[in-house]
């Protein structure tokens, strides 16, 4: 919290010589009960804000002067950066906007409404990406004072149209402010002209307000002064000036600055539009303009020089302990406190919350590095942090452990904290990960086993696997892996090899196997397909394609014996297969009628469903069903109902007869349904809106539908999964995992693997579920996420 009107920041040295920033309340506000309560709330929100917020190492909201400490990171505020380098390049604006939007998505429910923590002085630019140093209206305030009856009058730097109309700001207000900041970053000017419309917001008792973020605008206050009134009128009625904004950003910023809050995008949507692969994936070395990079280097060098100088001055006099922070502290007198700067409106006299780079470089060591705080004889910050002074200064008596939530305690609407994260190191990920009880198996050029509860690596075995590697559970002790050389039986406990069946044992003399891929499994029997090739010198070609034949195999992995093999015709791709009683059901391209007129009437890409006898592989029947084409996504129930999503429709058929049971047509002419998933007594399917639907599998009646919050029409429909308990439905797209209650579709949370990795591109999320945990896969990264 670096609002010039509420706090002051100091550099200090922590345990182990770590440099930290200590942010303390203005003493004149420390005695205001509402301020102290809000201070505590905003520090708590900081702990939930995600990777783009300055971490809170420790805090003391109950000290005579409340404070918290964060790691020191060389950075410039957005106001300083624009003043120093002018408008920022479009890639920088995109990263900045995506990072802030990701932070808003994580925090908006945690703070109970609008975040109200954005401003040009609290948005920081560092060498490794943006940061935000405020976690609510106190930190972003440009001024604050005690109001009547022990309340608090807080002035924010920005108004929104709904605030001008006298309404309390909700989460969409944060998107409006973010749009204003991004327009300022891209152009160097406020899109509504001079920013002279701060809001004085008396707040008598925060517990009386639904928006416990702490600001309740009062309509009468915004009319103070003609300039402020004109600015409010522009925000309420004038369209933003975006002519100087890069064309690629103009449309999305216009949506952010819509007068109607309902038309503004959700933060997750905005983040995905600005940086589809996540802000972290878009940050690279030298992401900032050279002038800003040089300023950050100067700042870092200045602090490093002060550290080294302190270490050399062993005989420096001790700094006396001071019980409170005086209004005119030595640090403030020397310029270590807030420095004057220029905000988006070019308004002089607005005090930034942190010194400029040049000011830091010119500060005297003693005034810069001495944090004059409550109980300054010793601050205990997670292992011992003292204000910078000499070695004979009294040390803290004990370290304080920061308060923390219970590890699995959910926060409504806030993404759950991953129990663990795993990056497959120095390996390639092939095939399909699988769960074997509490063991997660990851096939690659090594087969790796993780404890699904902790993410701890149990064992790793170097294995010649390929793109078709599929671990399969056999019993409590063994697993089978289909690899490039054959079927391998391994111990789940330690990965030791127990058996191996080379593919040669399944083939005839002179044959070779390529690209085996699992198709289906039921009990002890697995079905996999591969390309069988006649080796050189046999002189036999089976289909005119250099002796290569796609073949379907049935194998008993318990008795370790082959059951049958079936060469596949050219139109039999077996993209999916489903065991059903004594049959194995799949589909293929329907044969083209010989009659020209019938051929013209046949739909393009028509599917023909066929069933094989499980015991022999012999074809039992084949038929087209309801005109379904190869674009249809199909699921088969245990009772023999075929559910198919084809473009705008979800349909149900009786497999035995092909009789249509029901169909549900999308109301949107551009709506497309994805893969249906049947779990228990509910059929789940998602569309490209994107919305998740829970349907009655008996008649297709909608039980509930909920949007995921991602951008409508942005691509393929998300996939859907259901937790092991059946209590949570999960939607997976290229940007996020969204959780809903299966009972009524209430949206619970969204999980995004942002700020932690660079996948090199936009990849869809994938999911495995086990009791109490869903394993989220994003590229080669895995997360254990708690789920009901």
Handedness of CA 597, 600, 603, 607 (dihedral sign): positive
Nearest CA to 447 out of 407, 419, 489, 411 is that of 489
pLDDT at res. 89? 94
The region of weakest confidence among 17-26, 518-527, 628-637 is 17-26
Q: How many Cα atoms sit within 13 Å of 664 on the Cβ side?
A: 25
Whether the Cβ atoms of residue 209 and residue 34 lie closer than 8 Å to each other? no
Q: How confident is the model at residue 402 (pLDDT cuts 50, 70, 90)?
A: very low
Note the pLDDT tens digit of each residue in 274-298.
988 778 878 876 799 988 988 888 8
Examine the pLDDT at 527 and tell me if it is beyond 90: yes
What average pLDDT does the structure give for the chain? 75
Note the pLDDT tens digit of each residue in 308-325.
776 666 445 544 433 333
* 112 or 765, greater pLDDT: 765
Examine the pLDDT at 642 and tell me if it is beyond 60: yes
Q: What is the DSSP string of 251-305?
A: HHHHHHT-SSGGGSPPHHHHHHHH-TT-HHHH--TT-S-HHHHHHHHHHHHHHHH
Q: How confident is the model at residue 108 (pLDDT cuts 50, 70, 90)?
A: low
pLDDT at res. 688? 86
The residue-averaged pLDDT of 705-728 equals 81
Which residues sit opposite 450 in a β-bridge? 440, 457
The C-alpha atoms of residue 707 and residue 354 are separated, in whole angstroms, by 41
Q: How confident is the model at residue 634 (pLDDT cuts 50, 70, 90)?
A: very high
Q: Cβ of 446: how many Cβ atoms within 10 Å?
A: 20
The residue-averaged pLDDT of 628-657 equals 92
Question: Which pTM was predicted?
Answer: 0.55
Q: What percent of the chain has pLDDT over 70?
A: 71
Whether the Cβ atoms of residue 684 and residue 716 lie closer than 8 Å to each other? no
Examine the pLDDT at 243 and tell me if it is beyond 50: yes
The C-alpha atoms of residue 310 and residue 303 are separated, in whole angstroms, by 11
The C-alpha atoms of residue 137 and residue 163 are separated, in whole angstroms, by 14
Whether the Cβ atoms of residue 623 and residue 608 lie closer than 8 Å to each other? yes
The residue-averaged pLDDT of 504-523 equals 88
pLDDT at res. 113? 65
Bridge-based pairing of strands 199-203 and 719-722 is: unpaired
The residue-averaged pLDDT of 613-634 equals 92
Note the pLDDT tens digit of each residue in 155-182.
666 778 887 777 777 788 889 999 999 9
Does a cis peptide bond (omega within 30 degrees of 0) precede residue 690?
yes
DSSP state of 341: B
Examine the pLDDT at 352 and tell me if it is beyond 50: no
The region of weakest confidence among 65-74, 244-253, 355-364, 613-622 is 355-364
Whose structure tokens read 């003399």?
509
- Structure tokens of 244? 């100087």
Q: Which residues contact 693 (CB under 8 A, 6 or more apart)?
A: 684, 685, 686, 687, 702, 704, 705
Measured in whole angstroms, the distance separating CA 224 from the mean position of its chain's CA atoms is 42
Bridge-based pairing of strands 497-502 and 511-522 is: unpaired
Three-state DSSP state, 489:
strand
Q: How many Cα atoms sit within 13 Å of 451 on the Cβ side?
A: 8
Q: Cβ of 639: how many Cβ atoms within 10 Å?
A: 10
Q: How confident is the model at residue 379 (pLDDT cuts 50, 70, 90)?
A: very low
Question: With left for phi above 0 and alpha for psi between -120 and 50, is residue 178 left, alpha or beta?
Answer: alpha
- Structure tokens of 770? 């086990």
Secondary structure E strands in 375-426: 385-386, 420-423
The residue-averaged pLDDT of 583-593 equals 90
The residue-averaged pLDDT of 67-73 equals 85
Examine the pLDDT at 250 and tell me if it is beyond 80: yes
pLDDT at res. 655? 92
| Most confident segment among 137-146, 477-486, 662-671 | 662-671
Burial, 608: exposed, middle or buried (Cβ in 10 Å; 0-12, 13-18, 19+)?
middle
DSSP state of 109: T
Q: How confident is the model at residue 339 (pLDDT cuts 50, 70, 90)?
A: very low
The C-alpha atoms of residue 505 and residue 514 are separated, in whole angstroms, by 14
- Structure tokens of 222? 């915004």
The residue-averaged pLDDT of 634-659 equals 93
pLDDT at res. 712? 55
Note the pLDDT tens digit of each residue in 27-41.
777 777 777 777 777
Q: How many Cα atoms sit within 13 Å of 450 on the Cβ side?
A: 23
| Most confident segment among 291-305, 394-408, 651-665 | 651-665
pLDDT at res. 273? 87
The region of weakest confidence among 100-109, 127-136, 362-371, 616-625 is 362-371
Handedness of CA 464, 466, 472, 474 (dihedral sign): negative
The C-alpha atoms of residue 526 and residue 470 are separated, in whole angstroms, by 11
The region of weakest confidence among 53-62, 106-115, 470-479, 720-729 is 106-115
Q: How confident is the model at residue 109 (pLDDT cuts 50, 70, 90)?
A: low
- Structure tokens of 314? 């062993």
Which residues sit opposite 305 in a β-bridge? none
Secondary structure E strands in 535-655: 548-556, 561-567, 577-580, 583-589, 607-613, 619-623, 633-636, 641-646, 649-654
Q: Which residues contact 533 (CB under 8 A, 6 or more apart)?
A: 511, 512, 513, 514, 546, 547, 548, 549
pLDDT at res. 165? 79
Q: Cβ of 155: how many Cβ atoms within 10 Å?
A: 18
Examine the pLDDT at 216 and tell me if it is beyond 60: no
The C-alpha atoms of residue 123 and residue 451 are separated, in whole angstroms, by 39
Examine the pLDDT at 350 and tell me if it is beyond 60: no
Three-state DSSP state, 226:
helix
* 505 or 359, greater pLDDT: 505
The C-alpha atoms of residue 341 and residue 347 are separated, in whole angstroms, by 8
Examine the pLDDT at 508 and tell me if it is beyond 50: yes
Q: What percent of the chain has pLDDT over 90?
A: 29
Backbone angles phi, psi at 442, to 5 degrees: -120, 110
Note the pLDDT tens digit of each residue in 538-565.
454 444 456 789 999 999 999 999 999 9
Whether the Cβ atoms of residue 273 and residue 225 lie closer than 8 Å to each other? no
Whose structure tokens read 């035995």?
656
The residue-averaged pLDDT of 480-496 equals 86
Radius of gyration for the chain, computed over Cα atoms and rounded to the nearest angstrom: 31
Bridge-based pairing of strands 660-665 and 649-654 is: antiparallel
Measured in whole angstroms, the distance separating CA 594 from the mean position of its chain's CA atoms is 53
DSSP state of 702: E
């Amino acid at each position: 919290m670096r609002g010039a009107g509420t706090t002051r920041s100091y550099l200090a040295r922590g345990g182990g010589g770590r440099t930290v920033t200590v942010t303390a309340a203005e003493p004149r506000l420390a005695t205001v009960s509402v301020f102290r309560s809000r201070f505590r709330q905003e520090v708590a929100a900081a702990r939930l804000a995600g990777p783009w917020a300055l971490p809170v190492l420790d805090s003391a909201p109950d000290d005579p002067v409340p404070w918290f400490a964060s790691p020191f990171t060389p950075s410039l505020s957005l106001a300083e950066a624009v003043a120093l380098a002018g408008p920022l390049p479009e890639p920088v604006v995109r990263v900045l906007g995506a990072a802030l939007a990701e932070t808003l998505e994580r925090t908006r429910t945690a703070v109970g409404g609008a975040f109200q923590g954005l401003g040009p002085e609290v948005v920081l630019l560092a060498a490794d990406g943006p940061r935000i140093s405020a976690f609510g209206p106190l930190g972003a305030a440009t001024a604050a004072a005690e109001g009547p009856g022990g309340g608090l009058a807080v002035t924010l730097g920005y108004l929104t149209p709904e605030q001008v109309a006298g309404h309390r700001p909700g989460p969409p207000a944060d998107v409006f402010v973010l749009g204003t900041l991004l327009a300022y970053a891209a152009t160097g000017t406020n899109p509504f002209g001079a920013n002279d419309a701060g809001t004085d917001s008396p707040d008598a008792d925060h517990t009386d307000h639904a928006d416990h973020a702490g600001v309740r605008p009062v309509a009468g206050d915004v009319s103070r002064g003609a300039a402020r009134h004109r600015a409010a009128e522009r925000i309420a009625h004038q369209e933003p000036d975006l002519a100087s904004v890069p064309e690629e950003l103009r449309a999305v910023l216009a949506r952010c600055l819509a007068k109607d809050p309902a038309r503004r995008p959700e933060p997750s949507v905005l983040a995905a539009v600005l940086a589809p692969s996540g802000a972290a994936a878009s940050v690279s070395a030298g992401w900032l303009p050279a002038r800003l990079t040089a300023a950050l280097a100067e700042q870092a060098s200045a602090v490093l020089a002060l550290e080294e100088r302190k270490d050399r001055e062993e005989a420096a006099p001790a700094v006396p302990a001071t019980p409170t922070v005086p209004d005119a502290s030595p640090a403030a007198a020397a310029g270590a406190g807030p420095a004057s700067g220029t905000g988006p409106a070019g308004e002089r006299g607005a005090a930034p919350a942190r010194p400029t780079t040049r000011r830091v470089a010119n500060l005297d060591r003693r005034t810069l590095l001495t944090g004059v705080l409550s109980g300054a004889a010793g601050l205990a910050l997670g292992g011992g942090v003292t204000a910078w002074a000499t070695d004979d200064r009294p040390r803290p008596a004990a370290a304080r452990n920061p308060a923390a939530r219970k590890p699995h305690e959910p926060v409504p609407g806030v993404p759950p904290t991953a129990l663990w994260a795993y990056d497959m190191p120095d390996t390639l990920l092939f095939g399909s990960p699988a769960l074997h009880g509490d063991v997660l198996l990851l096939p690659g050029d090594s087969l790796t086993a993780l404890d699904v509860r902790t993410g701890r690596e149990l064992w790793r075995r170097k294995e010649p696997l390929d793109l078709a590697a599929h671990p399969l559970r056999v019993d409590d002790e063994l697993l089978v892996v289909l690899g490039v050389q054959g079927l391998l039986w391994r111990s789940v406990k330690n990965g030791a090899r127990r058996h191996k069946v080379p593919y040669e044992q399944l083939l005839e003399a002179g044959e070779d196997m390529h690209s085996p891929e699992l198709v289906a499994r039921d009990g002890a029997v697995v079905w996999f397909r591969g390309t069988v090739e006649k080796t050189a010198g046999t002189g036999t070609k089976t289909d005119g394609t250099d002796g290569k034949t796609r073949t379907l195999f049935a194998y008993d992995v318990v008795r370790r014996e082959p059951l049958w093999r079936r060469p596949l015709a050219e139109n039999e791709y077996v993209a999916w297969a489903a065991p059903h009683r004594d049959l194995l059901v799949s589909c293929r391209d329907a044969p083209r009628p010989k009659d020209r007129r019938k051929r013209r009437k046949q739909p393009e890409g028509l599917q023909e469903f066929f069933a094989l006898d499980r015991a022999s592989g012999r074809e039992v029947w084949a038929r087209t069903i309801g005109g379904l084409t190869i674009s249809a996504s199909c699921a088969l129930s245990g009772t023999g109902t075929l559910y198919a999503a084809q473009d705008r429709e979800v349909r149900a058929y009786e497999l035995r007869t092909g009789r249509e049971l029901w169909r549900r047509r999308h109301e949107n002419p551009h709506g497309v349904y994805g893969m249906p998933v049947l779990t228990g007594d509910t059929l789940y399917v998602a569309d490209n809106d994107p919305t998740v639907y829970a349907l009655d599998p008996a008649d297709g009646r909608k039980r509930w539908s909920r949007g995921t919050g991602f951008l409508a029409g942005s691509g393929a429909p998300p996939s859907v999964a259901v937790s092991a308990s059946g209590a949570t439905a999960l939607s997976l797209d290229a940007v996020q995992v969204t959780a809903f209650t299966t009972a009524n579709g209430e949206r619970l949370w969204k999980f995004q693997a942002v700020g932690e990795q660079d996948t090199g591109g936009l990849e869809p999320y994938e999911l495995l579920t086990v009791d109490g945990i869903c394993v989220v896969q994003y590229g080669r990264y895995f997360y254990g996420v708690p789920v009901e």
